[in-house]
Structure 1
Amino acid sequence: MMYTMIRFFSICIAIAVLSFYHTDLAAVQEPHSEPGIPERMPELTIEATGTPETLIAKDEDEDDEDDDDSASAPQSDFEREFQEEALKLHDYVLIPNPSEDDIENFRDFLALNRKRRYKGLKISTAEQHRAIGVASFYETNDTDALHAFKESLKLDPDNARTWYNIGVIYERTGVQKEAFAALNKSSDLNPEYSLPHCKIGTMLIGYKAYEQALEPLDEALRLDPELFEALYNKGVALEKLKKYEEAMEPYLKALEINDDYQDLLTHLAYTSLKLDKMEDAEKYIDESLGQDDENPDALVVHARILNAKGEKEGALEELAKALEKNERHLDAWMAKADLLIEQEKYEEALDAYDQALLCDPRDPNIWRGKGTVLYRLGKLPEALAMFNIVIDKRSDLIDARLNRAIILIDLERYEEAVETCEKILGMNDSIDDAYALRSVAFIKMEQYKEALDSANRAMQINDKNTVARESYEKAQAEMAKINAEKENDNESITAIFENALAASETRSEEELIAAVHELIEKKDMEQADSLAEILIKKYPESQDGWMIKGETAELMLRREDALDAYDAVINLNPEHTQALLRKGAILLQQNNDQEALDIFEKILAYDTENIEAMKGKARSLLHLGYDNEALEVLNTVINTVPGDEEALQLRKNAERSVEKTEESVVPEEPANETPSEADPVMNSFQEGLTLLADRLYDQALDAFNQTIFLDPNHALAWYNKARVFAIQGKTDDAIESLTTALDLDPALKYDIDEDEHFESLRGLDSFKALTE
């Protein structure tokens, strides 16, 4: 079996998430990744916990009047009648939407079973148990159905169809791990039985594991090429993977088998639309709406078709109908947001995204959409916070990181933009847009050689990248200008270096340092760095030599090399203030806020009035969320140096943060809002995520505490509360909050391994125990 490895790995998608996504696969959802950037699907593997035999044993202790290990043949006329009717039903496979005749037969058999109970007769065969299970299932009595099937296994333990039916019941009742166990047992007992493979594929689609769903679905179709459910769901999986041409083949084969299944017609309409086959799209959606003109999924697809035809008012009317039928229809809100964006009604689009978040706050596409709209509104910090949330939820989404880089450039945070682009290239070094944006950032930083190299790499990948081409031309022009200005200095620069190099054996430490400084002033960083390397090799105990080595490394954006150089100075002189200040500044740039705080406090321990150390301490405290403490330090700075502009600006930031904290502790009642218009749980949780992305940790903690106060079982609020504590170094509180989150939603454990917020906890046994 091609996909048997599925059962050997752990479930990677939360069961809680399934409650949002696992439906009858009727919904047609529009992907919302940015144009040209494919959405990457998460890896998913499935493991069934517990053996199938333990699934039977769960009911063995129950007292049941029908328990009888005897399989003796029935004796009375009634017993013979009961057995004959059971034989008509026992092999029935649990499928959706049985015929009315079948339903009538199930009810008649249950009535006969009640008569058997009245007569006090025992069940004597596995077939009778199975028939009771089938009939009970269609009367939506899952408890009786499951018990009956398990009882039949005591008499006939190797019946593949019974194991399949048990898997169906577990899946319907939300017990997913046991469902996979039963379905795998069924396929093991009968490898040629197509239905378990089909059901596994269908469940994987419910987990949004579309690529993996194809393997069991293909296996089901190998065994039964005309299995409707397998054909339909294969089409769904391919559609979700945006393989629209490939999706049409199984959809059309399914249509030949059943041409009046509304969900299939709706999917055919949507897929035809994506293939620009408007005539087919209209035909299929008309047939779908002809069956039920109030079906929300069909209405949403119809709205998309109308919008593609330019009938935007008609599209909005269809979406309004869909939302009237189901106000929590995620795709309807997303489609409405898309349409409003096209009409440049950005504030209304934001409202639509907020409604979508009420449907599913974990969907990164919604946060990404909000970020795009906020960017178009010019609200750059808010847009950046949205894309940070997207990356936090799905670290593999390249387009979210590209958008983050764009916003950082607009915010003039060029070094962070470069770091973001380099993170993308570390994930995939063939993304031309990442090279192009890095080139733009380098130009803003006046690093034209690096800009030229980066733009050239982008054009090698995609010679039509206009951003890269414009950046390349600008970098060339700037370098030509600089070269012209330097032409007269080249000989002197070369002479400085060559003279220093030639006389390095006889030159004093001070002379070499002066030569490095001169090269730095001439902006010849490569030669300055080379000479600095010679300097520290000749004078390894030179504190000034290591300092200038750190300076050249910083100017060349080699922060780790700079840290090494400053550490060398500190090893020689633990109270070298300038080395400590530079190290603290770099740590702040790297978001190592607690380490930076420790450095600045070390300086203040022996130099209590060092203004730069005080400002560094204040920055660290602000990043860590200790706003009141930062405010106290800044007031001291300003009292000492009243005109310090940096301290004045930092104080404004701290005061603003303190005001936000006070507002979040005592939230005002929203004016003229009803419970249907605002969700206080969702509002406080979203606020917490935004504050966390902005590194306003104390305020974020207040927001998550407010969420938990309103909803004590909000697993994600507990999880993000643990993140804040971990960042603040409050280890015990972080472990306690994380334990609560995992108790509420065990599937969150699969997010922990990739979550950078918990780096400080990874060495703890208590943390490792949570991830086992």
Structure 2
Amino acid sequence: MFTAIPVSAENRNNQNATFQSSSDNIYPLLITSENNGSNVVPFSENDQSLDNNINTLNTIVGCINTWLQLVGIFLTVFTIIIGVLGFIGFKDLRDTKRSLEEYKEKAANDASYINGIKISLEINAKKQSDFLSEKSSILVNQKQSPEIIEKYSEYSNSLRYIELFGVELKSNDYLIRSLDYFYKKKYQEALEAAERSLELDTSNYKAWNNKGNILTKLGKDNLALKDYNKAIKLKKDYASALNNKGVVLSRLKRFDESVETLGSAIEADSELEEAWINRVGPLLKKEEYDQALISINKALEINPKSPEALGNKGLVFDRLGEKDRALSMYDKSIEIDPTIAEVWFNKGITLQSIREHNEALEAYEKALKIDPNYADAWFNKSSAFYSIGKFVEALKAIEKAIKLRSGFDELVHKGKILDLLGKYEDSLRAYEEAIEINPKVADPWILKAIVFQKLGRLSKALEACNKAIEISPKHKEAWLHKGHIFVEQGEKEKALEAYDNVLDLDQSHLPGLLGRGQVLNMLCRYEEALEVYETAIKQDRKFAWSWVGKGDILSSLKRDNEAINCYLQAVELIPDDPIIWSKLSKAYTTLGQYEKAMSSLINSVSFRYQKPQMMIPYFP
């Protein structure tokens, strides 16, 4: 900036004086229009002209002085304005300073208030954390009470506010946040919170146990097992982790280890109802039914109205063959709590076992409504559709199961359905995938042999049977189907040898007896064949194909009346089978009973177009 210095009157007079004094020393030459500068007139000779020039100069000087005065006035006004603005700015500065002091005082009060809230939140969080840590047994399949779930949710929400105030969360905070997500079935978020909990404290055994539960829900049983072991290593008598480990071992079909581990959980906490209940499953797999009943009764002693225990007691009765008592127990469980998917599932199994397939389907639907991701329920729903010949629906259900859990059993079952739908190449692919999962099981090789046989690729079928026998030399169905292939190849003696191998392993094996009887019939060894079929009938009079086989032998022996009686027995057992009606028509024709022959033939044709033909189910 600059400061304008005003010009005073005295200075202005001095300037004029200076200007005038200097003019005294100048001798100007005036040029007139007449002489165009040719005649120069001295100053002293023309006074009037000099006066005019002086006046002109004075006018110019006056203008300059006026301009200088205006500049001075402007500078004065400008200076005043600057002063006024400075005064106003000082006042504003003083007001601003006062506002800052007031704001500082208010901020201090707010900080004190916020600090009070922070302390209150920390105390409340500690209380909730202690309460939840004490209450949480963290069992993998435990149905937690709504009150506890609400507590988890409240605490998890309060953690967000605590974080906003700069409080660092602890391992247990993340554990309870993980549990909140777990009970909301947000398993990925639960896993992230559990891992954060363990980052802060690797010795938090409850966090290891909780992480195992999450991995179990995500279908990662082997990884879950490792985390349960870490929890148990940190706390050997941790009943919850021992219980959960036992559950996973059972899922992995390690039933002996499961029973032992659940026993350890009971030793750690004899009042842990869930451990007694979970022990039932592997005991049933080991066919230790009495022990299973003892275990479930102990659970009911602890809690007589436990819907889970009642449901599992129904399962024990089912395995003991007491189907009505089983269904009664399921209904009692459902009456107490209709939201347990496993009880509906087990009810479906019992109904399916007594051939109530439609009711079983309803039970599976109930289970899936509660838990749409229940892979076993999708599998059994497919099985029920399969049993009533609805193969398209069965395929859709098994594909749902495979999306949730692409396991060995699911792929084998899918292969069977595709086989019956005539999609043989797709069926073979399903069996190949199953073999990749477990190459040491013979069953998919046998099923591959059946498909190859249908495709007429008998050498491939024989290779598949040989592979099955290599894996399991005492596998009856492998030898059985090898016999079937030899029959189709015309190798009767080899077929007979294969069927004899089946019967060496199990003398009462009905499909093996029927195969042997068929080959003896082909070899015209009718009396031996007749003896075989009579043995089969003694074992099971309700197996229609034993009667059919006996009828064929009697027909070959020209004993047509006896043959007709055998076929009629078979028709009573399977009234809509076109093959049996066709054989009956042929027998009536031989005896000249043409009216009965025609009636039987009409039935044969009618039933042939009403239902798809299936192979005799030698291999379930």
- Identity in percent: 23
Residue 439 of structure 1: aligned partner: 449
Residue 448 of structure 1: aligned partner: 458
Alignment deviations for residues 494-546 of structure 1 (CA, whole Å, 9 cap, x no partner): xxxxxxxxxxxxxxxxxxxxxxxxxxxxxxxxxxxxxxxxxxxxxxxxxxxxx
Residue 154 of structure 2: aligned partner: 141
Match among 210, 215, 219 for residue 204 of structure 1: 215
Residue 67 of structure 1: aligned partner: 114
Residue 184 of structure 1: aligned partner: 195
1:320 to 2:331 alignment: yes
After the TM superposition, which residues 494-573 of structure 1 pair with which residues of structure 2 at under 5 Å, given as runs? none
Residue 510 of structure 2: aligned partner: none
Q: Distance in 1 between matches of 2:335 and 2:408?
A: 36
Q: Which has the larger radius of gyration?
A: 2
Distance 1:382 1:269, change over 3 A: closer
Give the conservation status (yes or no) of the 8 Å contact 1:93–1:165: no
Give the conservation status (yes or no) of the 8 Å contact 2:292–2:316: yes
Stretches of structure 1 lacking an aligned partner (at least 5 in a row): 1-62, 100-134, 483-772
Distance 1:151 1:322, change over 3 A: same
- Report how far residue 277 of structure 1 moved: 3.3
Q: Distance in 1 between matches of 2:128 and 2:337?
A: 38
Residue 300 of structure 1: aligned partner: 311
- Report how far residue 411 of structure 1 moved: 4.5
- Report how far residue 301 of structure 1 moved: 0.6
Alignment deviations for residues 299-325 of structure 1 (CA, whole Å, 9 cap, x no partner): 111101122223221111111111222
Residue 264 of structure 1: aligned partner: 275
Alignment deviations for residues 578-617 of structure 1 (CA, whole Å, 9 cap, x no partner): xxxxxxxxxxxxxxxxxxxxxxxxxxxxxxxxxxxxxxxx
Segment drifting more, 311-320 vs 223-232: 223-232
Residue 95 of structure 1 aligns to a residue whose secondary structure is helix
1:214 to 2:252 alignment: no
Q: Distance in 2 between matches of 1:248 and 1:197?
A: 22
Match among 227, 241, 256 for residue 230 of structure 1: 241
Residue 337 of structure 1: aligned partner: 348
Q: Which amino acid in 2 is paired with 1:441? A: V
Residue 575 of structure 1: aligned partner: none
Q: Distance in 1 between matches of 2:246 and 2:346?
A: 22
Q: Which amino acid in 2 is paired with 1:236? A: V
Distance 1:145 1:252, change over 3 A: farther
Distance 1:194 1:151, change over 3 A: farther
Q: Distance in 1 between matches of 2:453 and 2:125?
A: 80
Which protein has the bigger helix share?
2
Q: Distance in 2 between matches of 1:352 and 1:438?
A: 33
Size of the aligned set, in residue pairs, is 373
Distance 1:174 1:67, change over 3 A: farther
Q: Distance in 1 between matches of 2:363 and 2:422?
A: 30
- Report how far residue 86 of structure 1 moved: 8.2
Alignment deviations for residues 315-366 of structure 1 (CA, whole Å, 9 cap, x no partner): 1111111122232321111111111122122222222222223223333322
Segment drifting more, 85-94 vs 291-300: 85-94
Give the conservation status (yes or no) of the 8 Å contact 1:200–1:216: yes
Distance 1:374 1:141, change over 3 A: closer
Give the conservation status (yes or no) of the 8 Å contact 2:414–2:427: yes
Residue 290 of structure 1: aligned partner: 301
Q: Distance in 1 between matches of 2:240 and 2:155?
A: 22
Residue 544 of structure 1: aligned partner: none
Q: Which amino acid in 1 is paired with 2:247? A: V
Distance 1:405 1:323, change over 3 A: same
- Report how far residue 477 of structure 1 moved: 4.5
Distance 1:342 1:228, change over 3 A: same
- Report how far residue 189 of structure 1 moved: 3.0
Stretches of structure 2 lacking an aligned partner (at least 5 in a row): 1-109, 138-147, 493-620
Match among 466, 481, 504 for residue 471 of structure 1: 481
Residue 112 of structure 1: aligned partner: none
After the TM superposition, which residues 19-98 of structure 1 pair with which residues of structure 2 at under 5 Å, given as runs? 67-68=114-115, 92=130, 94-95=132-133, 97=135
Residue 265 of structure 2: aligned partner: 254
Q: Distance in 1 between matches of 2:404 and 2:216?
A: 20
- Report how far residue 298 of structure 1 moved: 0.8
- Report how far residue 88 of structure 1 moved: 9.2
Residue 236 of structure 2 aligns to a residue whose secondary structure is coil
Distance 1:431 1:236, change over 3 A: closer
Q: Distance in 1 between matches of 2:315 and 2:453?
A: 42
Q: Distance in 1 between matches of 2:455 and 2:128?
A: 76
Alignment deviations for residues 130-173 of structure 1 (CA, whole Å, 9 cap, x no partner): xxxxx998596336642465378x35x37444444444455456
Give the conservation status (yes or no) of the 8 Å contact 1:328–1:358: no
Distance 1:440 1:70, change over 3 A: closer
Residue 332 of structure 2 aligns to a residue whose secondary structure is helix
- Report how far residue 204 of structure 1 moved: 2.3
Give the conservation status (yes or no) of the 8 Å contact 1:136–1:144: no
Q: Which amino acid in 2 is paired with 1:397? A: G
Give the conservation status (yes or no) of the 8 Å contact 1:167–1:180: yes
Residue 253 of structure 2 aligns to a residue whose secondary structure is coil
Match among 382, 385, 388 for residue 371 of structure 1: 382
Relative to the length of structure 2, the TM-score reads 0.52
Distance 1:437 1:324, change over 3 A: same
Residue 209 of structure 2 aligns to a residue whose secondary structure is helix
1:348 to 2:386 alignment: no
Distance 1:225 1:66, change over 3 A: farther
- Report how far residue 268 of structure 1 moved: 2.8
Greater relative contact order (Cα 8 A, min sep 6): structure 1 or 2? 1
After the TM superposition, which residues 129-168 of structure 1 pair with which residues of structure 2 at under 5 Å, given as runs? 141-142=154-155, 145-147=158-160, 149-150=162-163, 154=166, 157=168, 159-168=170-179
Residue 279 of structure 2 aligns to a residue whose secondary structure is helix
After the TM superposition, which residues 574-585 of structure 1 pair with which residues of structure 2 at under 5 Å, given as runs? none
Distance 1:475 1:308, change over 3 A: closer
Residue 29 of structure 2: aligned partner: none
Alignment deviations for residues 179-227 of structure 1 (CA, whole Å, 9 cap, x no partner): 4444333323333332322221233233343221121221122122122
Q: Distance in 1 between matches of 2:439 and 2:193?
A: 43
Aligned Cα root-mean-square deviation (Å): 3.9
Distance 1:68 1:340, change over 3 A: same
